[in-house]
């Protein structure tokens, strides 16, 4: 570990005075917690790693909050929640990451010149640290709930009911997913649908009796072309560029001399509104085979509803006001294509503000990083937002 958090705002070779030493002392608790979380890997598909991560997150949270979480395990995936009194505000995050177990050896935890690196540091373990420190700083925790789930990167298949049940009827949900560029708050997110189209054909020897086969690979090619036309059939002029229907991972066949009996393609869908999501779903289910004898099977469907600005605008205005009062850098808002669990809370009618977590970049990439000197400011903003909502 190369921990030199105070060097971030300084030029190389500049001496460290008393103010910088105080800044270092302020950052030390954040870095200690962040190091512990990052070094405990938590790949979404590795249940043993998730169990270890849940225990580590619970320990870090316990130190800040002085309370044990409830651990909810659904289909082998652990989720953690702390509830203080009758909830009015939910702080939401996830402890799973996209990084396979062992990545820590290729991308080790480090802090150099104020930049922290390591698998999951930006998405979103720094956000978890900020939740714990923000709640710890509250004058009263009465009315606050914290939920940290273990399968967000997979689309939250086991945690969605927990998220929606906890958010329903609350005054606000604050999601500490990483911020946008320069720490922009995420005030809208597209909805997501995920599909897998299976094409069933009939195998035959490609050299001896090709005419007896039904080539699922050829049929898949027809379907991929049809899928790429769906977006233009749905989007209006006002939605241009906002809706996408994208075939991604595809495969067909079992050997080079066999007519493929099975082919498949994954389809990623991003939509700006619920009507578009519904219409895309209808068109996906209306696909028909072009090759005689082929059969289609569609799996999946809508995953996360769109999260629009109506759900966030009031909270965002409050965040801008509080940021100015606290003397923090001016806040900006951004709409993004990626979804989060904030889509679920907004979808059940709970006012939601997202992207309140780390300032940095490189989500899901080898250069994932966090600007550690921005963490205290984000904690102060989150604390102020929670107290503002609770005071209403």
140, 109, 102, 99: which is closest to 5 by C-alpha?
109
- In angstroms, rounded to a whole number, what is the distance separating the alpha carbons of residues 222 and 170? 47
62, 69, 41, 64: which is closest to 53 by C-alpha?
41
316, 80, 27: which is closest to 180 by C-alpha?
316
233-265 CB burial, b ≥16 within 10 A, e <16: ebbeeeeeebbebebeebebbeeeeebbbbbbb
- In angstroms, rounded to a whole number, what is the distance separating the alpha carbons of residues 142 and 384? 15
- In angstroms, rounded to a whole number, what is the distance separating the alpha carbons of residues 277 and 295? 25
Q: How far is CA 252 from CA 75, 177, 246, in A?
A: 31, 37, 18
Tell which phi-psi region holds residue 60, choosing left (phi > 0), alpha (psi between -120 and 50) or beta. Answer: alpha
| CA distance from start to end of the chain | 44
Which of 152, 281, 341, 354 is flagged as catalytic? 152
Listing DSSP states for 233-275 in one string gives HH--GGGTTT-EEEEEEEEE-SSTTB--SEEEEEEEEEESSHH
147, 193, 126, 175: which is closest to 311 by C-alpha?
175
Phi, psi of 298 (to 5 degrees): -105, 125
- Enter the tokens of residue 320: 């801008």
Residue 75: active-site member: no
Residue 41: active-site member: no
Which of 33, 96, 151, 153 is flagged as catalytic? 96
**218, containing H or E segment:** helix 216-228
**Taking the CA atoms of the chain, what radius of gyration do you get in angstroms?**
24
- In angstroms, rounded to a whole number, what is the distance separating the alpha carbons of residues 78 and 90? 18
Residues labelled as active-site residues: 96, 152
């Amino acid at each position: 570990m190369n921990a030199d958090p105070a060097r971030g705002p300084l030029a190389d070779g500049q001496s460290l005075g008393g103010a910088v030493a105080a800044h270092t002392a302020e950052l030390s608790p954040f870095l200690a917690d962040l190091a512990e979380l990052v070094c405990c890997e938590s790949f979404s598909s590795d249940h043993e790693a998730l169990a270890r991560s849940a225990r580590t997150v619970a320990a870090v949270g316990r130190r800040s909050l002085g309370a044990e979480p409830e651990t909810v395990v659904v289909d082998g995936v652990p989720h953690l929640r702390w509830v203080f009194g009758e909830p009015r505000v939910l702080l939401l995050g996830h402890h799973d990451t996209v990084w396979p177990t062992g990545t820590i050896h290729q991308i080790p935890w480090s802090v150099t010149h104020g930049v922290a690196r390591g698998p999951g540091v930006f998405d979103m373990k720094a956000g978890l640290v900020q939740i714990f420190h923000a709640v710890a700083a509250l004058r009263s925790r009465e009315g606050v709930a914290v939920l940290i789930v273990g399968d967000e990167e997979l689309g939250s298949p086991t945690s969605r009911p927990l998220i929606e049940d906890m958010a329903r009827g609350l005054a606000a949900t604050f999601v500490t997913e990483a911020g946008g560029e320069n720490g922009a708050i995420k005030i809208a997110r597209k909805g997501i649908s995920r599909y897998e189209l299976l094409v069933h054909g009939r195998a035959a020897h490609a050299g001896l009796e090709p005419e007896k086969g039904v080539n699922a690979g050829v049929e898949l090619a027809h379907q991929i072309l049809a899928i790429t036309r769906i977006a233009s059939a749905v989007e209006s002029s006002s939605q241009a560029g906002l809706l996408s229907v994208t075939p991604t991972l595809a495969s067909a066949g079992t050997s080079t001399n066999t007519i493929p009996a099975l082919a498949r393609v994954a389809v990623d869908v991003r939509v700006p509104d619920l009507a578009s999501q519904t219409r895309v779903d209808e068109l996906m289910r209306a696909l028909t085979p072009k090759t005689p004898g082929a059969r289609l099977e569609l799996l999946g469907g809508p995953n996360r509803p769109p999260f629009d600005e109506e759900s966030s605008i009031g909270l965002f205005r409050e965040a801008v006001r509080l940021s100015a009062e606290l003397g923090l850098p001016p806040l900006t808002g951004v709409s993004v294509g990626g979804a989060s669990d904030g889509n679920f809370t907004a979808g059940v009618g709970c006012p939601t503000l997202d992207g309140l977590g780390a300032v940095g970049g490189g989500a899901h990439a080898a250069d994932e990083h966090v600007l550690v000197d921005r963490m205290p400011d984000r904690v102060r903003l989150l604390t102020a937002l929670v107290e503002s909502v609770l005071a209403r």
